[in-house]
Amino acid sequence: MTGGISVQRSPVRAFYLLTPGSASTVEAGFSVTRSIRNAASRNFVKRRLRENFRKNCHVLFGNSGFRGTLKLVLLYTELTANVRKEIKHKPFNASINAILEMIRKQLTAKK
């Protein structure tokens, strides 16, 4: 994604780019670092990322939504041996919510 902006709140980093348009749409992608060796664990993390994004995507639109297509990639960056245990016990949902709130504030500030 060329010309995008990065926002981080451990253990998640987000990259986003807003392209002008008439409708407000979000295109989201989810990725997990390859340092988590087990593919089943990486898929588990991606499912959690998708679910938490789905539950919190309303934060992006807020009172003063944006116009255009928001391209967003959420990347899980934490290096841990037992990722399933870590995700269940860490405030994963709070990280994604905080990232989406930061993105919304940056988008509304650019108006």
Tell me the CATH number of domain 5-109, given options 2.40.50.140, 3.30.300.30, 3.30.230.10, 3.40.50.720.
3.30.230.10
Q: How far apart are CA 78 and CA 84, in angstroms?
A: 12
Average pLDDT over residues 98-110: 89
Identify the pLDDT of residue 89.
61
33-72 pLDDT, tens digit each: 988 888 998 998 999 999 999 999 988 877 666 788 999 9
- Among all chains, which residue has been given the structure tokens 């060796």? 37
Residues with Cβ within 8 Å of residue 70, at least 6 apart in sequence: 16, 17, 18, 24, 25, 26, 27, 60, 103, 107
Instruction: Examine the pLDDT at 1 and tell me if it is beyond 60.
Output: no
